[in-house]
Amino acid sequence: MKTVNISSLKNNPSEALRYAHEDMVLVMNRDQPDALMIGLNQTGGMLDMPGVRTALATSLFKGGVLSLARSARLANMVLADFIAHISRLGIPVINQTASEANQDMDTLEQWLAS
């Protein structure tokens, strides 16, 4: 197990990620353990287990971390299938306020009129 402190993690996160590809990395905050980094390749093929990729992609999309297209790619799904999947879960595909949607409709109407 490798150990890094928070300041070295802030200064050089890629080093900690490289370590995590080989072994677990314990992140220390002063003299106390604060976090544990585990590379996905260290999880024994966890991403290859049924449903894990889809659940991860769904969670990342719902949290606004990944776009719709990238989430579908992570889930190994066709975009239309991923849209159907998140729609069944009640997760909105488009997250806009009413005024933003109205503005988009106005823009579309102007474009169609020209």
For residues 37 and 51, state if they share a domain: no
For residues 58 and 109, state if they share a domain: yes
Q: Which of the four pLDDT bands, split at 50, 70 and 90, describes residue 101?
A: confident
Question: What digits encode the pLDDT tens for the residues 35-92?
Answer: 888 877 666 667 777 788 899 999 999 998 999 999 999 999 999 999 999 999 999 8
For residues 66 and 96, state if they share a domain: yes
State the pTM of this model: 0.63
Q: How many domains does the chain have?
A: 2
For residues 83 and 110, state if they share a domain: yes
Q: Which residue has the tokens 């991860």?
A: 56
For residues 36 and 61, state if they share a domain: no
What range does the domain containing 22 cover?
2-42
For residues 98 and 53, state if they share a domain: yes
